[in-house]
Amino acid sequence: MSAMTETETETTVHEMAAQKYKYGFTTDIAMEAFPKGLNEDIVRLISAKKSEPAWMLDWRLKAFAMWRKMEEPHWARIHHPPIDYDDLYYYAAPSAPAPKSLDEVDPSLLDMYEKLGIPLNERAALAGVAVDAVFDSVSVATTFRETLSKAGVIFCPISEAVREHPELVREYLGSVVPMADNYFAALNSAVFSDGSFVYIPKGVRCPMELSTYFRINAKNTGQFERTLIIAAEGASVSYLEGCTAPMRDENQLHAAVVELVALDEAKIKYSTVQNWYPGDADGKGGIYNFVTKRGACRGRNSKISWTQVETGSAITWKYPSCILQGDGSVGEFYSVAVTNNFQQADTGTKMIHLGKNTTSTIISKGISAGHSNNTYRGLVKIMPGASGARNFTQCDSLLIGDQCGAHTVPYIESRNMSAKVEHEATTSKIAEDQLFYCRSRGLSQEDAVGLIVNGFCKDVLKELPMEFAVEAQKLLSVSLEGSVG
Amino acid sequence: MLEIKNLHARIGEKEILRGVNLVVPDGEIHAIMGPNGAGKSTLSYVLSGRDGYEVTAGEAIYNGQNVLAMEPEDRAAAGIFLAFQYPVELPGVGNANFLRTALNAVRRKRGEDELDAVAFLKLARAAAKMLQMKEDFLKRNVNVGFSGGEKKRNEMLQMALLQPGLAILDETDSGLDIDALKIVAEGVNALRSPTFSALVVTHYQRLLDHIVPDVVHVLAGGRIVRSGTKELALELEAHGYAGLEAA
């Protein structure tokens, strides 16, 4: 092969590698951004931009003061160069005034969401799914608001909820994840710019799936969204979030906080398909996904169920958790985390049993390929009052290739003799004989890997709403393309 | 037609096949018998394309195609089917899903239309019924928790659906009771036609009572040392393989 064609081949290979992340485009739109760096003035600017009441600004400033005294946590099995928090933009938004209805949304934004497969046009939208779209620091569109408000459901950008429903926001914001809970939560509390707010009133079953679509577009910009979901007595809701970002060579920070509150007999199902840009095959670029997600089962017999499919991000640091306070409350965590190339994931959950007869289930499936590292970290804590508490944990790791790592770090603390805690863990490799078996039946190598991986994740994927399950299956196969052979 | 000429293959430094010559015309069933370590499984794997076997000389031509140069999945599409001695478990992968994915992959490569779920299920149920398999077979995960006999029947079910031109049965009879053995045999016999041929690799003659071969070959020391009619199998059963290697 001549030198010329070698270069050509190399280019083609690079192009192919780049194509694998199909959400990597950028949208060209006039943007407004505050100066780089973080100080009290920036916090005040964000608050002023959102026309926030004084109590909200005070809350942010308090969080900011706490954050300045805190240190970045380093206990997770992740490694990254130091983050320069003064080299980031903390607010970026399309410069046109906030749209009042879908007709006013910038057509290039609508185009972008179309490209991502998220039609915001209500007539075209999948029947039964209402969407809130968050672009960099602001919510650009929320669909089906009228239908939802007839049922009494509030589904709006959180910046709007701060102004329109202050009594609810003041009561619940920071009540599950306190502002100084951890370094990234404190940062988020100071500078969060938008996110979704959901309130399902007493006895209401939300008539459709709610979904938020997060998109980081601007360069050097952190995204700090904040989501708050409250299900009142006997209410129920299923909520989905999806995330993508353009391909950029530098790392970008995403530090979100999600709080869920379930009152008596309420049910919240929260599903995530996280596909932030993972960086290239050499580990360059990608999102740092440092997220705090926690749900409080405050009422008796309430239930919170987390399902996550994590395929993106250069680094994932995230532990969606449940505080099982109400007697008979139920917490669930179903997770698939895939790492390939140089991705790092340290993810898991915390189940804190406070109430009597509380139960929790943890099913975690970690898949590592390439040079990646994938850690499950979980805590099951049974407090003295949690008589009859039960937990079942299953952690399975699947290795593809011999350069990657899988780690399981379960913590179990039981302070009640009547509690039952079970933990099962397995680590396996995709065996050569499994691949050969599939191929001898006509499947290509990649289809065989996809089939085996999807089989491995089945217990989790079946928890996803139907249309997302199909998407997630495809995503798993795409994320692992080229990982074998 | 399958033609194997002077086939040499090794695993690492160890030469296992040392010049196999074999012709299996369409419509015929040939049995390969031989002592342990003779190279029977190696021959099966080399023909179906498993990694880890290095072909150092010779060739295998099936219907004019150079089999040894093809990927395993392309061999499947070309009509070669290997029934495994130890079928592999695929946890979490539903049998029906696996069968349909495989069938459609092969159909695509053969330029045929893919089957939708309804058409596939109709076909799969009929095949399962023929092999006296319960319907829940299709719902279970591929080979997970299957008994030895169930695994082999599952191989036959896959074979019935994929409709190969050449089936290689790698000691499919090992670990089977007589009822399961009959079912496997029926699975093969049901496919018999002028365009179907099979290579039945077995250690014992009892399978050949049910799948009657046109030719019996003895593989010993990496070569075919004798070929004959089905009576050869009976002779081997009576006298064993001793002395054959020197032949």
pLDDT, tens digit, 9 for 90 and up, residues A354-397: 999 999 999 999 999 889 999 999 999 999 999 999 999 999 99
* Start-end of H helices in A253-344: none
Chain A partners within 8 Å of B50 (Cβ): 436, 440
Distance, first Cα to last Cα, chain A: 22
Angle at the Cα of A399 (from A350 to A439), degrees rounded to 5? 135
- Among A246-250, A319-323, B239-243, whose mean pLDDT is lowest? A246-250
- Among A110-114, A210-214, B34-38, B204-208, whose mean pLDDT is lowest? A110-114
Chain A partners within 8 Å of B71 (Cβ): 439
At residue A164, the pLDDT reads 94
Asked whether the predicted pLDDT for residue A4 surpasses 80, the reply is: no
User: At B142, which CATH number?
Assistant: 3.40.50.300
Within a domain: residue B247?
no
CB-based contacts of A193: which residues, under 8 Å, 6+ apart? A46, A50, A90, A91, A93, A137, A138, A159, A224, A225
Tell me the per-residue pLDDT of B14-32, one tens digit each, with 9 for 90 and over.
999 999 999 999 999 999 9
CB pair distance less than 8 Å for B50 and A436: yes
- Among A83-92, A218-227, A314-323, A332-341, whose mean pLDDT is lowest? A218-227
| pLDDT band at residue A96 under the 50/70/90 scheme | low
- Comparing alpha-carbon positions, the chain A residue that sits nearest to B141 is A455
Handedness of CA A58, A64, A67, A69 (dihedral sign): negative
CB pair distance less than 8 Å for A442 and B49: no
Handedness of CA A42, A43, A48, A54 (dihedral sign): negative
Range of the domain at A200: 31-479
Of B48, B93, B103, the CB nearest to A455: B93
Tokens of B135: 């319907």
| pLDDT band at residue B71 under the 50/70/90 scheme | very high
Within a domain: residue A22?
no
> Tokens 């089939």, residue?
A451
Dist. CA B152–CA B131, nearest whole Å: 11
Average pLDDT of chain A to the nearest whole number = 84
The mean per-residue pLDDT over the stretch A203-210 comes to: 89
At residue B81, the pLDDT reads 96
Within a domain: residue B244?
no
Within a domain: residue A10?
no
Whether B136 and chain A come into contact, CB under 8 Å, resolves to: no
The mean per-residue pLDDT over the stretch B96-123 comes to: 93
CB pair distance less than 8 Å for A455 and B90: yes
Dist. CA B129–CA B136, nearest whole Å: 11
Within a domain: residue A173?
yes
CB pair distance less than 8 Å for B101 and A431: no
Dist. CA B149–CA A116, nearest whole Å: 49
CB pair distance less than 8 Å for B72 and A452: no
The mean per-residue pLDDT over the stretch B175-195 comes to: 88
Under 8 Å between Cβ of A447 and A438: yes
Whether B61 and chain A come into contact, CB under 8 Å, resolves to: no
How close A309 comes to chain B (CA, Å)? 17
**pLDDT above 90: percentage of residues in chain A:** 49
Q: How are strands ordered across the β-sheet holding A267-274? A: A138-142, A129-135, A209-215, A236-244, A267-274, A303-310, A330-339, A359-368, A390-399, A420-429
Dist. CA A175–CA A181, nearest whole Å: 11
Split into its structural domains, chain A has a count of: 1
Within a domain: residue B220?
yes
Using CA atoms, how far residue B118 sits from A350, B121, B122, B125, B160, in Å, is: 43, 5, 6, 11, 18
The mean per-residue pLDDT over the stretch A125-150 comes to: 67
Range of the domain at B234: 2-239
Chain B partners within 8 Å of A396 (Cβ): none
- Among A93-107, A285-299, A311-325, B71-85, whose mean pLDDT is lowest? A93-107
CB pair distance less than 8 Å for A442 and B50: no
Asked whether the predicted pLDDT for residue A117 surpasses 70, the reply is: no
Phi, psi of A251 (to 5 degrees): -80, 145
Can you state the angle between helices A54-69 and A183-191, rounded to 10 degrees?
150
Split into its structural domains, chain B has a count of: 1
Tell me the per-residue pLDDT of A394-436, one tens digit each, with 9 for 90 and over.
999 999 888 899 999 999 999 999 999 999 998 888 888 999 9
The mean per-residue pLDDT over the stretch A140-158 comes to: 82
Within a domain: residue A273?
yes
Under 8 Å between Cβ of A239 and A269: yes
Within a domain: residue A13?
no
CB pair distance less than 8 Å for A441 and B102: yes
- Among A94-98, A380-384, B110-114, B222-226, whose mean pLDDT is lowest? A94-98
CB pairs under 8 A between A and B: 78
Under 8 Å between Cβ of A72 and A290: no
Dist. CA A421–CA B113, nearest whole Å: 51
